[in-house]
Chains A and B, each alone.
Chain A
Amino acid sequence: MPVLGLALPLSVIAACTTTQPLPDQRPGAEPALHTEEAGLWLQMERIEDTYASSGVRLKDPALEGYVREVVCRLSAEYCTDLRIYILQQPYFNAAMWPNGVMEVWTGLLLRADNEAQLAFVLGHEMGHYIRRHSLQRMMEVRNQGNLLAIVNVALAGAGLGSAGYLTSAYVMANLMAFSRDNEREADAIGVRSSIEAGYDPREGAALWRLVKAEGEALDREQPSIFNATHPGLDERIANIEAGAAEAGAADSELDLGRERYREATRDHRAGWLRAELRKHQFAGSQIVLDHLLAGDPNSGEVHFYQGELYRLTEEDGYDETAIAAYHKAIQLGGAPPAVHRELGLLYWDNEQFEEARQSLEAYLAADPQADDRLMIESYIIQLNEQVST
C-alpha cells in the first residue's frame, strides 16, 4: 500500500478515537470513586504524601502563603482546592497535578521580576487544573493507543506490518499536537485570569522572552513541531500579547506588584542565585543576572553574584571584571560578607598582597563567626609574610 494510502484510513479512525472535551473541574469537587479520574487522583496523592518529608521542598510558610495569596487573587473559587509546594529546583518551571497540587520551582521565582509575572504562570497552571488537562491527556493516550493497535493489526493482516512505524509516528504527532493545544488553552486562561485579577498579562510575555534568551544563550534546541509538547516560544509570546491587546485594559489600571514580590522573596534570593551558579551553565545564568540587574540595578547582592559568575568563568581578563563587580556590590550595600573574602582571594591571585590582606581582614570583621575563620587566618599569616618580604 502506498504511504499516502494510509492517510485516509488513519484519518477516519482517528476521528472516531478523538478525545472529546470534558466539562470543567468544579470548585470543591472531587471525582466519583468508581471513575478512572479518581484512580488518577489516588496515584497523585500517594506521590504527594512523599512531599511531607521531601528534601527538595522549600518549607517556608510565609513564602507559600504569599504564593497562595496570588493564586486566590487569580481565582477565589478554586484557590482552596489547590495545594502549593515550592520546590528547590534551579530551573524555570511550574507544574499542575490533576488533584490540585501546584508545584512552583525556585528557578521560576528567581527569574520572575514581579508579581504579575508569577501570576501569569500560576494562572496558566490553574488553567490546566480547571480544564482537567491531565485526565484529557491520559484519555487521549489511551485512545491513540487503541488506534495504533487497530491499524497495525490491519496492516499486518494485509502483509504490510513494516509500515507500523508510520502509524506510530502519526499517533505520536497527534499526542504532541493535543499537548500543544492544552498549553495554548492554559496560556489563554493565564491571560484572562491575570486581567480579571488586575495584573498586566504582558508580563507573561516578558517572562517568556527571558526564557527564550536563556535557551538561545545555552544553544538549547527547540523541539521540532512534531515532537514538541509546548508551542514555540515566539507563538506563545505573540498569543499572550494578542490576548492582552484584545482585552484592551489600560496600562494605568494594571498592577505589577514589584515591591510586594521583592519583599516576599527577599530572604531567599541569595540562596536561589547561588543555586543558579551551582549549575555551571554560565551563559544562561548571565542572561538571568542581566535580567535581575535591569530590574534592580542598585542591588549589592545581585552585583556580588555577578562577580561570582565572572570569577567562576575563569577566562583570561575576567578577574578585573569580578573585582569591579565586588567593589560595586560593597559600595551599594546588601552583599554578603563573603564579598570581602572573594575580593581578597582575587587580589592575592593578582599578587596585590596588601589589598588581599585588608580584604580578608574585612571579611572576618564583617562575619566574626565565619566558619572558615581558621583557613582565612592562615591565609592572612601567609600574606603577612608576603607583605614583609
Chain B
Amino acid sequence: MTIGGRILMFALIIVLGACATEISKVERKTVDVEGAYTVDPQITWSEFPGASTSSNGLVWTVDGLFLQRLDLFGGIEDGQALFEPSGAEEESLPAFHAGMRESEIQELVLDTLTQQGFVDVEAINLRPADIGGRKGFRFDLIMSTASGLQMKGLVAGVIVNDELNLVLYTGTRLHYFAVRQSAVEGIIKSITFKGGAA
C-alpha cells in the first residue's frame, strides 16, 4: 500500500470510528440520569450513547430506535434545548426557560418534535401528576413520521430547582408503543430525586 493509501485508510478508520455507536445493555437495577434523579429500568433496555442527540439525557430502546424510543432528560437548565442542534439550516430549536408553566413545556416538546421532522404532532390530556413525590405533569402525544408511520407518545415531567426533568417515550401506534408502555410506566413510578420528595 502506498503512503497515500495508508493515510486514506487511517482517515477512513478515524471517520468510521467517530460514527460508531457503542450500544450497551442497561442491566443495572438503578440508573442515574444526569445526576438529577434515578430510575429502575424495569426491563433490559439497549442504550445508544452515540446515537443520543439529547443534550442532557439517556436514549434507550428495546426493539430499535425507529420503532420505539425512550428519552430520559435530567437537569435541563434555563436556556437549554432538549436536543443538540442537528446543523440543519432552518433549525431553531426551542429552549427551556425556568418559570415555564406546564402548558409551555408541552409547547416546547411539540415544537421540538416538529422541528425534528415529525408531522401533525398533537398533545392531549395535559394533567397534573405526582412524579417522584413532586408536583409534576403528564400528557400524551399523537403524531406521524414524514413517511406516514403513525406514532404515539407519552411525556412525564417535573421542574426541580429551576431545572427540567422529563421522560419522553414514543413508539409506533401499532404494537411497539404499547409493548413497552408498562415498563415505561414503571420507570416513571420509580423516579427518585436526589433531594427526595418535596
A residues lining the B interface (CB < 8 Å): 50, 53-56, 88, 91, 275, 278-281, 314, 341, 345, 371-372, 374-375, 378
With CB as the reference atom, state the residue of chain A lying closest to B100. Answer: A314
B146 near A345 (CB under 8 angstroms)?
Answer: no
- A55 near B149 with CB under 8 A, answer yes
Chain A binding surface, main DSSP class? loop
Tell me the nearest residue of chain B to A381, going by C-beta: B128
Report chain B residues within 8 Å CB of A345.
101, 103
9 example contacts (A-B, Cβ-Cβ < 8 A) are as follows A54-B146, A56-B146, A280-B93, A280-B94, A371-B124, A374-B127, A375-B103, A375-B126, A375-B127
User: Are A280 and B92 closer than 8 Å at their CB atoms?
Assistant: yes
Give the nearest-CB partner of A314 in chain B. Answer: B97
Residues of B within 8 A of A280 (CB): 92-94, 111, 115
Judge whether B22 is part of the interface by a CB distance below 8 angstroms.
no
Chain B 149-188 interface mask (CB, 8 Å, partner A; 1/0): 1000000000000000000000000000000000000000
CB distance from B134 to the nearest CB of A (A): 14
Pair A55/B103 contact, Cβ less than 8 Å: no
Q: Is the CB of B148 within 8 A of A53?
A: yes
- Pick the contact of B146: A55, A91, A372, A378 (CB < 8 A): A55
Any chain A CB within 8 A of the CB of B120? yes
Interface residues in B82-136 by Cβ distance below 8 A to A read 90, 92-94, 97, 101-103, 106, 110-111, 114-115, 119-120, 123-128
Report chain B residues within 8 Å CB of A372.
Answer: 103, 106, 125-127, 139
Chain B: minimal CB distance from A303 (Å): 19
Quick one: given A372-B126, A378-B128, are A281 and B92 in contact (CB under 8 Å)?
Answer: yes
CB distance from B41 to the nearest CB of A (A): 29
- Cβ of A53: which chain B residues have Cβ within 8 Å of it? 147-148
Q: Are A55 and B144 in contact (CB under 8 A)?
A: yes
Contact A278 B115 (CB under 8 A): yes
Name B114's closest neighbour in chain A (CB-CB).
A278
Known: A56-B119, A375-B127. 8 other contacts (CB 8 A): A53-B148, A54-B146, A55-B145, A88-B120, A280-B115, A314-B97, A372-B106, A374-B126
Question: Whole-angstrom distance between the alpha carbons of A88 and B119 in the complex?
Answer: 8
B115 → chain A closest CB, angstroms: 7
Interface of B (DSSP majority class)? mixed
Give the one of B102, B144, B146 with max A CB within 10 A.
Answer: B146
Contacts of B144 in A (CB 8 A): 55
Residues of A within 8 Å of B126, CB to CB, are 371-372, 374-375
Give the CA-CA distance A213 to B90 in the complex, in Å: 17
B73: interface (CB < 8 Å): no
Q: Are B102 and A375 touching (Cβ within 8 A)?
A: yes
Question: Could you tell me the distance between the alpha carbons of A127 and B171 in the complex, rounded to whole angstroms?
Answer: 43
Determine the chain A residues whose CB is within 8 A of the CB of B92 once the complex forms: 279-281
| Chain A residues within 8 Å of B97, by CB | 314
Query: How many whole Å from A297's CB to the nearest CB in chain B?
Result: 27
Q: Contact: A341 with B125, CB < 8 Å?
A: no
Q: Which of B90, B93, B139, B147 contacts A55 (CB 8 A)?
A: B147
Residues from chain A with a CB closer than 8 A to the CB of B137 are 375
Cβ 8 A contact of B115, one of A55, A279, A341, A375: A279
CA distance A345 to B128 in the complex (A): 16
Closest to A56 in B: B146
Give chain B nearest CB distance to A69 CB in angstroms: 26
Quick check: B103 and A279 within 8 Å, CB to CB?
Answer: no
B residues near A281, Cβ cutoff 8 Å = 90, 92
B176 CB to closest chain A CB (Å) equals 17
Q: Across the interface, name the chain A residue whose C-beta is closest to B95.
A: A280
Instruction: List, in ascending order, chain A residues with CB within 8 A of B114's CB.
Output: 275, 278
CB contact under 8 A between A50 and B111, given known A341-B103, A371-B124, A375-B137: no
**Cα(A281)–Cα(B144), bound, Å:** 23
Pick from A54, A275, A314, A374: contact of B128, CB below 8 A. Answer: A374
Task: Report, nearest first, the 7 A-B pairs whose CB atoms are least far apart.
Answer: A55-B144, A372-B126, A374-B127, A55-B148, A53-B148, A280-B92, A55-B119
For A88, the chain B residues whose CB sits under 8 A away are 119-120
In the assembled complex, the CB of B71 is this many whole angstroms from the nearest CB of chain A, namely 19
The reply to whether B146 and A375 form a contact with Cβ atoms under 8 Å apart is: no
Q: What's the minimum C-beta distance from B124 to chain A, rounded to whole angstroms?
A: 5
A50-B127 contact in complex given A88-B119, A280-B111, A281-B90, C-beta closer than 8 Å: no
Enumerate chain B residues within 8 angstroms of A374, measured Cβ to Cβ: 125-128
Q: How many Å lie between the Cα of A17 and that of B137 in the bound state?
A: 66
Q: Across the interface, which residues of B come within 8 angstroms of A54, CB to CB?
A: 146-148
Give chain B residues whose Cβ lies under 8 Å from the Cβ of A91. 90
B120 closest partner in A (C-beta): A55
Closest residue of B by beta carbon distance from A50: B147
| A75: min CB distance to chain B, Å | 31
- A residues less than 8 Å from B93 (CB atoms): 280
Q: Which residues of A contact B124 (CB under 8 A)?
A: 371
A341 to B101, CA, bound (A): 12
In the complex, which residues of chain A have a beta carbon less than 8 angstroms from the beta carbon of B127? 372, 374-375
